[in-house]
């Protein structure tokens, strides 16, 4: 069997689908490399003992197949299985989140320019977007659904 590869660093340039595709690999941060320039917390040297994937218990969304050691099977099943990112970040929520990110950047620009009138309007716009996000959650469009780690052949 291959080496344990819980985050994608053992076989390629790292995770391609952070948070279920919400973020690209550029958001992985610097936790993948330590002072030796090679190893980091995201890299596991242990041999894999199983091929696994996370499956959404409600919608059957499936994550990538991962070769995992016993320690990472336990860790992923215990710590990283409480939320299906596709269920908690549906396309409607992603669109609102993108709009919120844009408004917050514009708020920083207005603050830097000391444009309090524009800042107030942008704050109102951000509040409207927050309410839209809350409504998605209340309607069940945003749902926190657990995952299960299953062995695949």
Give 120-134 pLDDT, tens digit per residue: 999 999 999 999 999
User: Exposed/middle/buried for 39, CB within 10 Å: 0-12, 13-18, 19+?
Assistant: middle
Q: Tell me what the mean pLDDT of segment 27-41 comes to.
A: 60
Q: Which of 38, 46, 40, 33 is nearest to 3 (CA)?
A: 46
Q: What gap in Å lies between CA 29 and CA 24, rounded to an integer?
A: 11
Q: What's the burial of 105, exposed, middle or buried (CB within 10 Å: 0-12/13-18/19+)?
A: exposed
> In percent, how much of the chain has pLDDT > 70?
78
User: What pLDDT sits at residue 31?
Assistant: 59
Q: Which residues pair with 70 in a beta bridge?
A: none
Q: Which long-range contacts (CB under 8 A, 24 or more apart) does 111-120 make?
A: none
CA-CA distance, 26 to 15, in Å (whole number)?
9
What was the pLDDT predicted at 64? 86
């Amino acid at each position: 069997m291959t080496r344990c590869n819980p985050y994608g660093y053992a076989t390629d340039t790292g995770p391609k689908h952070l948070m279920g595709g919400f973020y690209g690999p550029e958001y992985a941060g610097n936790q993948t490399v330590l002072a030796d320039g090679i190893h980091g917390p995201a890299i596991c040297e242990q041999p894999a003992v199983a091929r696994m994937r996370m499956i959404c218990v409600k919608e059957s969304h499936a994550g990538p197949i991962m070769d995992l050691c016993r320690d990472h099977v336990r860790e992923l099943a215990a710590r990283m299985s409480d939320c299906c990112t596709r269920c908690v970040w549906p396309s409607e929520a992603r669109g609102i989140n993108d709009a919120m990110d844009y408004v917050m950047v514009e708020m920083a620009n207005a603050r830097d320019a000391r444009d309090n009138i524009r800042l107030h309007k942008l704050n109102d716009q951000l509040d409207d977007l927050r309410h839209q996000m809350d409504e998605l959650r209340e309607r069940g469009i945003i749902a926190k659904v657990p995952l299960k780690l299953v062995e695949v052949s």
